[in-house]
Chains A and B, each alone.
Chain A
Amino acid sequence: MDRNLYRNMALMSAMFILVFGVGTASAQHAAKTKNDAENVNVNNGQQAAADAAGKLRQVTREEQAELAALSKNLSRSTEGLQVVTRNDGSKMMDLQDTFQEAVMVRKTTDGKLESACTNNIEDAKKFLNGDTMEKHAPAVELETK
């Protein structure tokens, strides 16, 4: 009996894993391509980029789109968001891809990685730009002076 019990439990567990293993393919969004050979530099709304030789240039349309998308995702503004009240009195708000949290990462001068999770676009820009943001986080490179 015990053997059957374990066998059946194992079967159930396997079925459970299979159920969880299912991913759903669905509607498709257009993909973007990006010039990977150039670097973007963002700083409080002033956007510039440096090419492989370090020469400043205008950011590309794709890069601007990426920043705009990040700005939208991290927005904490309620402008355009509506509270819908249903017949039963319950309420719903479609956040429209805002109020998200983003994880950023960067390399320090000695090659170590530091990361920060934020939902503020200015924080994110500063972080990408190399400014100190998470100076208290343990994975962040410590100030040396």
Chain B
Amino acid sequence: MKKHIAFFVFATLLLASVNAFAGATITIVNKNAAGVGFNDPTAAAPVGGNPGTTLGQQRLNAFQFAAGVWGAKLDSKVEIKIFATFEPLSCTATAATLGSAGARFIESDFPGAQFPGTWYHDALANKLSGVDQTPPELVAPDGGEDIRARFNSNLGNTGCLTGTGWYLGFDNNHGGNIDLVTVLEHEFAHGLGFSTFIDKATGIELAGLHDIYEHYIADDVAGSWLTLNNAARAASVVNNGHVIWTGSHVDAAVPSVLSFGTPNLNVTTAGAAFGKYAVGTAAFGSALSSAGITGTIVAALDPADGAGPTTFDACSPLTNAGAVAGNIALVTRGTCGFIVKVKNAQNAGAIAVVVADNAAGAPPAGLGGADPTITIPSVRVTLPDGNLIRANLPVTATLGLDLTVRAGANPAGRALLYAPLPMVPGSSTSHWDTSAFRNQLMEPAINTDLTHSVDVPEDMTLPLLRDIGWYPDADLDLVADDGADSCLGSDLSASVVIGNNNSGVPNTLFTNGCSIKDFVNQCLAPATNRGGFNSCVAHLGDSLLAAGIINDAQKDALQSAAARSKLPK
């Protein structure tokens, strides 16, 4: 008896295992003509796990690999189809369009939508509704693909980012080339829902409706974007350091993904300049530390001469070395390179340098350049911050890492969205802030240290998609596994089959994610003999009859099927 019970448990586990990997089927629909793009017959040696032997096949394999990454993480009973081409895109010898992607359709107010009056990306709408919202017959002649993706077939050829091409392997060993899988993962995420349709310049919503991404954007000063008017939303777009994501999955992911340690300048002298200032760090000199460097900020002075027209630009050897020595030098950006300014301050004995920007913009960018003889740390602050500090000198400050704030999050631990000033229309808010560390797949730039991971502890892309509705649903019963689903791995057969006996009773699925067959299976689990099992099914039938879910005949059919099954065996 135990053996048979064990076998049944095994069969159930196997079913559950299969369902646990249900995922989503993402199909790359190759729309290239013969001989080009995905069909390019040029011979190619397998690379980095990509077994293709032609250029076209390797491209298609890379697309399928990236689709597989997402398909393994997302659950949908509706196939996700990507209208894909490899084709010549705009480029020069030194710059190129790598590719583009996005949702082809958007949907609102469909059955299963979490929020009314809200646009959803098509693939997400299909997932939530359980049906294809744009079947081919309704959107002829193109077909109902959910995402459009086109990538540059000329990359690396002469005249198109000459000499730097796609890396088509799966192992991320891209060297000096561009990892296609990473770029595809990024672009597919936009198509799956990682983007807002709001006009960034005006704050106007698309066709007067919210979008699902917008539901989770907030300004930690002004409030949820849903509550803001157009002008307030437009103002928030450039409220650098204050535009946050409010979804619970991302909130939960932040501690696992983002490191503590936000570079800043902390002015501790009471007065108008008191407080913490965002800084851009330097590519040269010593890195900022958590201990920080504390000192008095003093203005560095140098001659207004041919090297630099002002006495604050530090383009020449400083004239007030006595005041600067042992302190933090404040200099102004402009005319000469950052390394010249910092080296002059270092030569005067400065322990660190603060470069005040001479142009508007936030957050403060980093300082570029290379000089191995520079050993002190240096940073940039914004133009208004620099002016404020200069107007209140001398002040005492600590330059270092704020270990109370995670890199890429606000002080409350909410993930920051990219909201630079001046606005970058095409990138603002549809990406994570560039201060994020570790680096994130969905920052506006594709960083070279990215892994292919889209989930914690490396990445927050999947948590964001979970927030907008891509809930886990391994049994594809449209009830969230991490929410209301009381029966993970549901049996969703059309009718209730007990053993080999089809009762003919429709296998109703309840809102808690349990089907009638799930309840029958639950009767089996504790039953030690057939009498107990049959009695449990009889009680189940009575309950379903009383609830008006089945009729008398169906109740009898259930009991009969249970009796004939001779379960448990």
Give the interface of A toward B (CB within 8 A). Answer: 1, 4-5, 8-9, 12-13, 16-17, 19-42, 62-63, 66-67, 69-70, 73-74, 76, 78, 81, 83, 88-95, 97, 99-107, 113-120, 122-124, 127-130, 133-145
Contact = CB atoms under 8 A, between A and B. Distances in A.
B445 A20 contact: no
B70 to A, nearest CB: 10
B361 interface: yes
A139 B368 contact: no
B367 interface: yes
A106 to B, nearest CB: 4
A49 B178 CA distance: 25
B259 interface: no
B178 A113 contact: yes
Contacts of B97: 70, 102-104, 124, 128
B91 A128 contact: yes
Contact of B99 (A103, A139, A140): A103
Given A29-B33, A139-B446, A63 B90 contact: yes
Given A137-B444, A144-B338, A31 B33 contact: yes
A85 B361 CA distance: 43
Contacts, number: 300
B103 A120 contact: no
Interface in B400-438: 420, 424-427, 430-431, 434
Nearest to B108: A91
A23 B445 contact: no
B130 to A, nearest CB: 13
A140 B113 CA distance: 39
B529 interface: no
A100 B100 contact: yes
Given A20-B71, A100-B100, A32 B88 contact: yes
A8 B104 contact: no
B88 A113 contact: no
3 closest A-B pairs by CB: A142-B368, A118-B426, A120-B426
A121 to B, nearest CB: 8
A135 B29 contact: no
27 contacts: A1-B7, A4-B10, A13-B21, A20-B67, A24-B30, A31-B35, A31-B37, A32-B87, A37-B159, A70-B89, A73-B102, A81-B207, A97-B148, A99-B195, A101-B102, A101-B187, A101-B190, A105-B98, A106-B95, A107-B95, A107-B164, A113-B164, A117-B445, A134-B444, A139-B447, A144-B339, A145-B335
Interface in B438-489: 439, 443-448
Contacts of B527: none
A143 B361 CA distance: 13
B333 interface: yes
Interface of B: 6-7, 10, 13-14, 17-18, 21, 23, 25-38, 60, 63-64, 67-68, 71-72, 81, 85, 87-111, 113, 119, 133-134, 139, 143, 148, 150, 154, 157-161, 164, 176, 178, 183, 186-187, 190, 195, 197, 199, 206-207, 209, 283, 333-340, 361, 363, 365-369, 420, 424-427, 430-431, 434, 439, 443-448
B430 to A, nearest CB: 7
A102 B101 CA distance: 7
Given A103-B99, A141-B368, A128 B92 contact: yes
A139 B10 CA distance: 51
Contacts of B29: 23-24, 26
Contacts of B102: 73, 95, 99-101, 119
B426 A123 contact: yes
B165 to A, nearest CB: 11
